[in-house]
Chains A and B, each alone.
Chain A
Amino acid sequence: MMDFITKKGFRNLAQGLIKDYVFYGPVTKDGFPAFSRIEEFSQLKLSQTPSHISAKGFLFPPKETLLRFDIEKGMAEGVADAEKQVLFGLHSCDVHAINLMDRVFSYGKPDVNYLKRRENTIIVGTECVPDEYCFCASIGTMTVDEGFDIFLHGVKGGFIARAGSGRGRSLLKKYASPSKTKRAALKELERLTEKKKTLFKARLDIDDPSLLPLVYSFADGHPVWEKIGAVCYGCGSCNNVCPTCYCFDVRDEVSMDLKKGTRSRVWDGCTLEDFAKVTGGMNFRKTRADRLRHRFNRKFRYLADRFKGLFCVGCGRCSRTCLVKINISEVTNEILRASKERPLAVPAGKSKG
């Protein structure tokens, strides 16, 4: 469904959603794009480049209560709070990331807290342009066809609004007075999409990104891990800004009389020193190099094998946040270079990339 909404229609849509829901969208924070609670239309600042921290926290909060317990009564009850909310201004990569998170939290025993929040979340995507770290075009996430309720593409005079769900369609009708999109606007969108492909400064040197799990499966002994391990802080910023890093720690807190308490989960990250430390002080991944190799493998190999999809969406946030300039597309290209020197056994029918 390709509807057209005018600029006024856009304003009415955003204002209506701000009024009727708990609304999170892009704002300018200290001069940079960030997601935040928005209560007035004037706060909304659509950003074309990615927010520094992804929007995952609105579906998977940095700290979230899972359980309340009463030690004296021997009682414990699950907590799953989820208000109806709107996530506005997500880019294509962010929506892809949420689709991956949906798979993660539905896998095995479904995660009630995430899924309930997800069900109560209306997602409105908006168009973007790459910054110097974005490489979604290399990974197949530059455009998106599912996972959103509405996706907006700016064109002359307004926006092309794609409804991705029945809910999205009714919201458009309710707030934005959609009309039929004219042929010229569709042509313009096509042109803009083609132009976007030429704007990327970062890219992966591979034609078929679905080969990346295979490429990474030969990269465990690559010297790049020691190289980046030497400069890594182990600060976990790459994990925390990533829209698909979902690891967490579970902690209990009790009341001062030691009788009642809560159990919460808190974001954790595989690049942190204590992540793989177990009782007795043993650590499965002692060095920063080990931990980085693990993270890269999670993004390009382990989770891709389990969930059938790369867990890097090419948003470039980890590269931007890294103070020592560990750059995910450059590291991957280094690995690709080595794989080209020693060609892989490629499954029949797939290009070598």
Chain B
Amino acid sequence: MVLNCEEEFPAIVELVNIVNFREAMSERSNDYDIAFIEGSISRKEEIRKLKDIRERASVVVALGACATTGGLNCLKNRFPMEEVKSIVYGKDAGLKIYDTIPAAPIDSIIKVDHRIHGCPIIKEEFLETLKSLLMGKTPFTPNYPVCVDCKLAGNICVFEKGMTCAGPVTRAGCKAVCVTYGRICWGCRGLTDDPNISAHKETLGRYGLAEESVLRSFDLYGGYALEKGRGKKNA
């Protein structure tokens, strides 16, 4: 998504000096002020790398669902790591290079200053965050559920259409794009700061979901947060 900012890059490079961008350039320097970090943590050596970045950068921004919530990768945390490895790598699973730890968002290891949520992220939100940081302004990150974005978009509620969705407990900011195009919200932007999980379980039950499916419906992106107790207040 960041690489899709072709139109904005000329203006961006007038304002900042990009020194390290693994997917876009070969030169690398470790002298930087702002670090955007993508991806979840799933290997021990990444912990060291993360801490190193945190020491160098004055501002750390988690970029994308994997970095902010742990993402889909956290689904593997339900199984023992040995089992996960053998499913994926078969007889090579024992090799050191495939060592893995339960997946986690980066703020489980280091302090994160700002978050750009979503899978995928929204280009405009990345640009807004960058601009806000350059102006010394706190980037705007919605802390309200996707229901707000749905109403602003004029959508008929997914539940009215006889389906269920994660929207009522999921952080908005996506303009409810999935629902607008006829699908449901899967929760890719993670939970809001204070989601009413027990209410949502009850709602899903009332709309015909069995208990196991209710729990599964949180797993896709909200698994790590719930496991660590966010939303527990209301669970």
Contacts and interface: CB of A to CB of B under 8 A. Distances in A.
A267 B14 CA distance: 34
B203 to A, nearest CB: 5
Interface residues of B, number: 35
Interface in B153-209: 154, 156-157, 159-161, 168-169, 192-196, 199-200, 202-203
A255 B7 CA distance: 12
Interface of A: 29-32, 34-36, 52-53, 57, 62-63, 230-237, 240-241, 251, 253-258, 266-267, 269, 272-274, 288, 321, 323-324
A233 B14 contact: no
B151 A258 contact: no
A257 B14 CA distance: 8
A256 B196 contact: no
B180 to A, nearest CB: 11
A234 B145 CA distance: 8
Given A233-B169, A234-B194, A240-B148, A253 B154 contact: no
21 contacts: A34-B156, A62-B152, A63-B152, A231-B196, A233-B200, A234-B144, A234-B194, A235-B147, A236-B147, A240-B152, A254-B131, A257-B14, A267-B151, A272-B148, A273-B144, A321-B157, A323-B159, A323-B168, A323-B199, A323-B203, A324-B199
Contacts of A324: 199, 202-203
B131 A234 contact: no
A116 to B, nearest CB: 22
Contacts, number: 103
A274 B144 contact: yes
Across the A-B interface, give the 3 residue pairs with the lowest CB-CB distance, nearest first: A240-B151, A256-B11, A235-B147
B140 interface: yes
A28 to B, nearest CB: 10
Contacts of A36: 154
B128 interface: yes
A234 B234 CA distance: 12
B12 interface: yes
Contacts of A288: 196
A30 B199 contact: no
A240 B127 CA distance: 27
B161 A30 contact: yes
Contacts of A255: 11
A257 B12 CA distance: 7
A272 B199 contact: no
B8 interface: yes
A255 B124 CA distance: 11
Contacts of A253: 128
B15 interface: yes
Contact of A233 (B8, B135, B151, B199): B199
A234 B199 CA distance: 11
B77 interface: no
A231 B199 contact: yes
A251 B192 CA distance: 20
Contacts of B135: 254, 258
Contacts of B159: 323
Given A29-B156, A232-B199, A321-B157, 20 more contacts: A30-B156, A35-B154, A52-B157, A52-B160, A63-B152, A233-B145, A233-B200, A235-B168, A236-B145, A236-B151, A240-B148, A255-B11, A256-B11, A256-B12, A256-B127, A258-B15, A269-B148, A273-B192, A323-B157, A323-B168
Which of B140, B148, B160 has the most chain A CB within a 10 Å cutoff? Answer: B148
A233 B147 contact: yes
B101 interface: no
Interface string B1-37: 0000000100110110000000000000000000000
Nearest to B151: A240
A235 B160 contact: no
A273 B12 CA distance: 34
Contacts of B235: none
A253 B194 CA distance: 27
B213 interface: no
Contacts of B202: 231, 324
Contacts of B199: 230-233, 323-324
Contact of A32 (B14, B131, B156): B156
Which of B169, B192, B199 has the most chain A CB within a 10 Å cutoff? Answer: B199
Contacts of A53: 151, 154
Contacts of B127: 256
A235 B148 contact: yes
B81 interface: no
Contact of A273 (B140, B157, B193): B193
Nearest to A33: B156
A237 B151 contact: yes
Given A231-B196, A237-B147, A52 B156 contact: yes
B143 A233 contact: no
